[in-house]
Structure 1
Amino acid sequence: MRALTVVPLKSGSAEVRDVPEPDAGDDRLLVEGLALGVCGTDREIAAGEYGWAPPGAERLVLGHESLGRVRSAPGGSGFAAGDLVVGIVRRPDPRPCAACAHGEFDMCRNGEYTERGIKQLDGYGCEIWSVEPDFAIKLGAGLAETGVLLEPTSVVAKAWDQVERVGARSYFAPERVLVTGAGPIGLLAALLGVQRGLDVHVLDRTGKGPKARAAEALGATYHSAGVAETAERLRPDVIIEATGAPSVVFDAIAGTGAYGVTCLTGVSPAGRTISVDLGQANRSMVLENDVVVGSVNANPRHYAAAAQALAAADPAWLASLITRRVPLERFAEALESRPDDIKVVLTLGS
């Protein structure tokens, strides 16, 4: 079968290769790969910035945003041939740490976790893959075209979960949220905000285009002015930061109203410095009881919440987020980042 593979830490090594089909055995689902979402993580691995092959292997099968259809399933697993499924990315460390032992492996404390398509486990970028039933999420037939959005939706489902848990430390009745960044994470975060009945605002540096149209079609207000200026005017109760741009991150941290929560989901590049007044930032956070929380990855609870959110969303709106579909053999095009991209998807069928 065909698979998209890379040699981790070697730029330009990505290629489609023939690899052996997986043996599902008696305890795993055998899945026909339908689609694979491409994100910044995949582009960084393909560029040789990081990534880990499975032990003893030179190459890693890329891809963690999956969608497939079950070919066969173990009896009693809750799955059957024909089911649409998505595979969970992370696996708990084998020791395990306390968080992993309690099923919160997205919060692993010792870094010994593994991840499909990223760290020591082959990913979902192949025509056939297998997965443990406990690490598969079933989707309804209505998500056959857009279910590949489940993994990024799980990331923002966790972000909202973190915001609400932090807010629940005292009285918390948020009304307004500002999402910085209108890529897939930002727009899906906005979707979950709209579904919560909040006044949602989305900010991105681009003016008119697919991102603005998607935000407005969702019922959110779209902004392209600076973060500090927009936040000062809105005084949002919650900011979900989805760019990772250092200047945007700092302005987001400083931008909530009193007793606000800022959730950082974008990963900033190292080595970039900006000049900030940490004293003023500390003063504001303390005097206003503000909270900043980082959030990454997701566990099965968040995948389940994400599946519910996608099932409740407008199918046409979800479809509008997928701005390019590229066949597997033209993977290099999918790894290119283009200005009007929201989500790029590789199709895996022959």
Structure 2
Amino acid sequence: MDTVRALTVTPGVAGSLRLVDDHPEPAAEEGAVLVESLAVGVCGTDQEIVAGEYGQAPPGETSLVLGHESLGRVLEDPSGTLQPGDLVAGIVRHPDPVPCPNCAIGEWDMCRNGRFTEHGIKELPGFARDRWRLQPRFAVGLDPALADVGVLLEPTSVVAKAWDHIERIGQRADWQPQHVLITGAGPIGLLAALLATQRGLTVHVLDRYPSGPKPGLVAALGATYHTSTVSELDFEPDVIVECTGAPVVVLDVMCKIGHNGVVCLAGVSSGGRTIDFDAGALNRALVLENNVVFGSVNANRRHWDLAAAALGRADPDWLAALITRRVPVAEYAAAYTAEPDDIKVVVEFRD
């Protein structure tokens, strides 16, 4: 029986991350499209799973293959949807089996009953293995020019959804946004800024680090980098995409947004911290200024396709600079140990 290398964890057990050399080949039941893995990205969700804080193994199993940010090359696709050699990424979330009304129409990112599954996170094996399979409708083809950076597709799909929903909300009135504030210059924040500049908007990015690669990446977009607090900014944004999840920043952006403005919360707070604030004053401002605050997570197929198009329009050198470390799979432990200047860390399966 053929086997593959795979990065696995025992969900709920901290320190259980390991490289298994004899993991079973992906089962045919996983999908018709067989893919050779090139790389997987590492994000905060992976760190939480490795720390034993999150993650669910597939039914009947005790281990979970890690990795939800994928990039690979098609080995075979009997359906003819993709061709051998095509560059591809796998959609992370799958609809629940019921399905709920949203999952039934392909909007599994808006699942209403929580019975969705997710590769490398919740009940589906991830992409951190030499080969993986999936159904054609969950395989997203990429421009061959993105061979070095296509692993960024999953985080880009998250911000593509955020911008899709921002623009839908904006259609409630005659809305002509100009100034955008992005809080947080991690991968999600920088990609949110990229999509904002592609829309011709004036973009400001706020982060706490005055040095390192982030200021230069923001400047390369033609955007402005800030290290002040949100309240110290001398303009009122029309759109804010909050990517830190820091409670103080979340409250600050809701207070800072301009008239008829839209705040998208894309960062996830850890909880457990109480902050005193004037809820009445915040409510008054949001109501009287017709502001909208909404949360956004995950993405459906349409957003993945939008993300692939956005990456195809981006400067490939700028995208490559987001990947600050590339770690061979044999040295996997280093990829899951954060370093100060990390933006996006990638585990590479290709030689």
Fold shared, TM-score > 0.5 on shorter chain: yes
Consecutive unaligned residues in structure 2, runs of 5 or more: none
Shift of 1:94: 0.2
Equivalent pairs counted in the alignment come to 347
| Amino acid in the other structure paired with 1:335 | Y
- Structure 2 matches for 1:181-220, cutoff 5 A? 181-220=184-223
What's 1:56 paired with? 60
Consecutive unaligned residues in structure 1, runs of 5 or more: none
| Amino acid in the other structure paired with 1:248 | V
What's 1:30 paired with? 34
Q: Which SS does the other structure have where 2:26 is aligned? A: coil
What's 1:72 paired with? 76
> CA 1:75 to 1:113, structure 2 compared with 1: closer, same or farther past 3 Å?
closer
> Partners in 2 of 1:67 and 1:75 — Cα distance?
20
Shift of 1:349: 2.5
Q: Which SS does the other structure have where 1:270 is aligned? A: coil
In 2, are the aligned partners of 1:26 and 1:74 still within 8 Å (CA)?
A: no
Q: Which SS does the other structure have where 1:19 is aligned? A: strand
My pick for the range that moved more, 67-76 or 87-96, is 67-76
What's 2:49 paired with? 45
| Amino acid in the other structure paired with 2:215 | A
| Amino acid in the other structure paired with 1:331 | Y
Task: Output one character per residue of 1:153-172: Cα deviation in whole Å (capped at 9) or x when no partner.
Answer: 00000000111111111111
What's the C-alpha RMSD, in Å, of the aligned pairs? 1.1
> Partners in 2 of 1:205 and 1:26 — Cα distance?
42
> Partners in 2 of 1:219 and 1:317 — Cα distance?
12
> Partners in 1 of 2:75 and 2:61 — Cα distance?
27
Shift of 1:27: 5.4
> Partners in 1 of 2:268 and 2:227 — Cα distance?
21
> Partners in 2 of 1:63 and 1:349 — Cα distance?
15
Q: Which SS does the other structure have where 1:320 is aligned? A: helix
| Amino acid in the other structure paired with 2:61 | A
Are positions 1:169 and 2:172 aligned together? yes
| Amino acid in the other structure paired with 2:146 | L
| Amino acid in the other structure paired with 1:235 | E
In 1, are the aligned partners of 2:30 and 2:134 still within 8 Å (CA)?
A: no
- Structure 2 matches for 1:298-317, cutoff 5 A? 298-317=299-318
Q: Which SS does the other structure have where 1:326 is aligned? A: strand
My pick for the range that moved more, 295-304 or 20-29, is 20-29
What's 1:148 paired with? 151
What's 1:114 paired with? 117
Give percent identity, aligned residues only: 61
| Amino acid in the other structure paired with 2:111 | C
Shift of 1:23: 3.6
| Amino acid in the other structure paired with 2:205 | V
Q: Which SS does the other structure have where 1:292 is aligned? A: strand
Q: TM-score, normalised by structure 2?
A: 0.97
Shift of 1:270: 1.6
In 2, are the aligned partners of 1:177 and 1:236 still within 8 Å (CA)?
A: yes
> Partners in 1 of 2:30 and 2:39 — Cα distance?
25
Are positions 1:88 and 2:87 aligned together? no
In 1, are the aligned partners of 2:56 and 2:64 still within 8 Å (CA)?
A: yes
Shift of 1:256: 0.9
My pick for the range that moved more, 110-119 or 21-30, is 21-30
> Partners in 1 of 2:325 and 2:276 — Cα distance?
38
In 2, are the aligned partners of 1:27 and 1:74 still within 8 Å (CA)?
A: no
Are positions 1:125 and 2:128 aligned together? yes
> Partners in 1 of 2:210 and 2:98 — Cα distance?
49
> CA 1:282 to 1:57, structure 2 compared with 1: closer, same or farther past 3 Å?
same
Shift of 1:75: 3.4
| Amino acid in the other structure paired with 2:37 | G
Shift of 1:26: 10
> Partners in 1 of 2:332 and 2:250 — Cα distance?
31
Shift of 1:25: 6.6
Q: Which SS does the other structure have where 2:8 is aligned? A: strand
Q: Which SS does the other structure have where 1:71 is aligned? A: strand
> Partners in 2 of 1:286 and 1:25 — Cα distance?
51
Q: Which SS does the other structure have where 2:85 is aligned? A: coil
> Partners in 1 of 2:13 and 2:273 — Cα distance?
23
Shift of 1:74: 1.2
Shift of 1:113: 0.3
In 2, are the aligned partners of 1:62 and 1:123 still within 8 Å (CA)?
A: yes
Task: Output one character per residue of 1:39-84: Cα deviation in whole Å (capped at 9) or x when no partner.
Answer: 00000000000100000000000000000000111133x2010000
Task: Output one character per residue of 1:180-199: Cα deviation in whole Å (capped at 9) or x when no partner.
Answer: 00000000000000000000
